[in-house]
Amino acid sequence: MTKPTASTTLTLYTTLGCHLCEQAEALLEPWLSQGVSWAKVDIAEDEQLMARYGVRIPVLATATGLELGWPFSAETLAQWLQSTLGLSHAAGG
């Protein structure tokens, strides 16, 4: 099982009251044990982000700009993390 580097932080584009974003966070939770973390960015605070992500959130992004847009399942997320970060499936996931 590969562990991410300490700097492995994803960006989760979201906004207040986004129930799909809450679902995305729930899918991310099992990955905390492998060192994956995420920083939430509220798109409502930036016109460019609203234009880019307004109808697409939640969207996960890596520091290099690779994105995973909703809808995604636990399996899709695991495959994306494997291909982008080289991670194995999270425990219980």
Q: Indicate whether 31 belongs to any domain.
A: yes
CATH number at residue 41: 3.40.30.10
For the beta carbon of residue 78, count every other beta carbon within 10 angstroms: 19
Q: Indicate whether 92 belongs to any domain.
A: no
Q: Indicate whether 90 belongs to any domain.
A: no
Q: Indicate whether 65 belongs to any domain.
A: yes
Q: What is the pLDDT of residues 67-87, one digit of tens each?
A: 999 999 999 999 999 999 888
**Most confident stretch, 5-14, 40-49, 81-90:** 40-49
Q: Indicate whether 3 belongs to any domain.
A: no
Residue 90's pLDDT is 64
Q: Indicate whether 1 belongs to any domain.
A: no
CA 6 from centre of chain: 16
Q: Indicate whether 40 belongs to any domain.
A: yes
Give the domain extent around 60. Answer: 9-85
Q: Indicate whether 91 belongs to any domain.
A: no
Structural domains counted in the chain: 1
Q: Could you tell me the sign of the dihedral formed by the alpha carbons of 35, 28, 76, 53, in that order?
A: negative
Q: What is the pLDDT of residues 50-68, one digit of tens each?
A: 999 999 999 999 999 999 9
